[in-house]
Structure 1
Amino acid sequence: MTENLLVLGIESSCDETGVALVETRGPGVPVLCAHALHSQIEMHQAYGGVVPELASRDHIRRVLPLTQKVLGEAGRALTEVDVVAYTRGPGLAGALLVGAGVACALGAALGKPVLGVHHLEGHLLSPFLSLDPPQFPFVALLVSGGHTQLMRVDGVGHYELLGESIDDAAGEAFDKSAKLMGLGYPGGPALSKLAEHGDAAAFKLPRPLLHSGNLDFSFAGLKTAVLVQAKKLGDQLEARKADLAASTQAAIVEVLVKKSLAALRQTGLKRLVVAGGVGANRSLRLQLDAACFAVGVRVHYPELHLCTDNGAMIALAAAMRLQAGQQTASEVYAFDVKPRWPLNSLSRSL
């Protein structure tokens, strides 16, 4: 499919409302026209985590004003939109329903087709909007919230699961460890910032499944080790918090880097894509860059502002699926959402 299409994307899977316009111009990589994002972090901070009902209600408040903002910045009219895309899953059911409902209502009002998109596919393809876009095939390290996965990616919709988290994901390990240290919500970025002032070798923390012989991940044991160490420190925790944060980050990053290199060796591929919120971690990027350079592997990341959940990745994924003929947009406006939805299932059916 090579015709020019203007795709409106809506993301509402968790605690960020994102809207974007992406345009396909022939067979090349789609172009981002404009995007806008509202984060609910301040609202959820008082509760120490995401409150699903509050998240859903805030999406309702934000999605249409954000849509108007994006259209204004792009200088386009709503009637020019050819396809309305939305996050179908995975995510919080109530939050997903907001985006799906609004997208299908817009599609019906405009008489334009709609398309439900996999949230993780959006993350996986988001580096194609960067200044250094990848080429297929590649190994993808997806580190987004409750998901840590290694995938072989041969093209849009052609995904082979190589390994995944069997309990806590890397993002959860960052957030839960930060909470144990009293760093508040969201904990991951706070822990990473504190780690810059600590000694990564101060505490010997486990690297779960590092030598398992497979590509699966497990970070629950690391979280427990952080809890034990924090209790041991007692009154000294405050003074040693930066060291504990640095040691925790070092353990997570080492596992991610070494498992990624193992996946590259196993597949024989020479290109790695890193996507998802944890992909913004500075230490992870530095160590992956160095390790991959040493073995002649190219690494690609999303732009930093596209690492978190956003509408641009949803519009992009929809546009690339349409270009690749992997999916057709529908003018049937009944919808459902998939709070649990394995990414590799896209290689089989939708």
Structure 2
Amino acid sequence: EPPAKRTGKKVAIVGSGPAGLSAAAQLNKAGHLVTVFERADRPGGLLMYGIPNMKLDKQKVVRRRLDILETEGVKFQCNTEIGKDLPAEDLLKEFDAIVLCTGATKPRDLPIEGRELKGIHFAMEFLTSNTKAVLDRDKNGNFISAEGKDVIIIGGGDTGTDCVGTSIRHGCNSIVQVEIMAKPPLTRAPNNPWPEWPKIYRMDYGQEEAAAKFGDDPRVYLTTATKFEGDENGRVKAIHLTDVEWEKNEQGRFIPKHVPGTQRVVPTQLVLLAMGFLGPEQPLLDSLGLDRDPRSNIKAEYGKYVTSIPGVFAAGDCRRGQSLVVWAMNEGREAARECDLYLMGSTDLP
């Protein structure tokens, strides 16, 4: 049910991912009038479109939570990109406080020869278009399909794993996951003692499914791409790979060096770039004139979350950089507490 008492304070939350939804729930609980702005056609952000349905059920989990928030009084305004469909200055005028939860959605690119060829996509384009097709029950092929294709995935993280699992469900012909780092050891290394997270070799669901279908872990380690090769129609038909070894440069930093004589050409009709994210998209931050940290994230102290503009807060990946859903949820809750304190002078939020 909605709160028994309202404060009359209006709060805008930009972004409806895990940080935004957590902040919305807490600020609404405190009695504020909360409006969540989302540029996509559905709220949920990463939870709705970034994580495949087989990993996180959209109806049983995400939609259920959204319905609860709406019943409690949170308003969602979708198809609204702040800074494009609605000027950021309008939010500053119309709302008593703003919480930015836009995520770190700027993908890391791979600027090598042939990058402009058709059939090369960022991983989130692939995952988002497929989840949207599932939710829209779109059977007309208005999504990026891996069916019958030799798929190359560049990047070894969670997003790459989701691309593996999705490609297998499409019925891909083969799959190779390119990882520039070395294969982790089977047991803890001496410099990775308990209670640190064990940095050991493991297979996630995507690799397990690929091994079950094709006979082996799809990952190739200490490997990088050097060139994309296209056909006469401008579509990717092959990728040039080479082994690397990590060496220290003059500054003492490890950098990958190509190993001579290890070049090979692998056929592919679909390449998915899953090499992580570089931070939040900058236009909104520019329009608000927000300070950034050295990694181009929104500058806001951990635990306080206030930006360089009083009354404007930031939480989740747009503040800390690419991270985990649980971190975003935690920051959303804590930013809500600081926002409530700013609005009311005191707070009962945890």
TM over 0.5: no
Higher helix share: 1
Q: TM-score, normalised by structure 1?
A: 0.26
**Which of structures 1 and 2 has the bigger CA Rg?**
2
Q: TM-score, normalised by structure 2?
A: 0.26
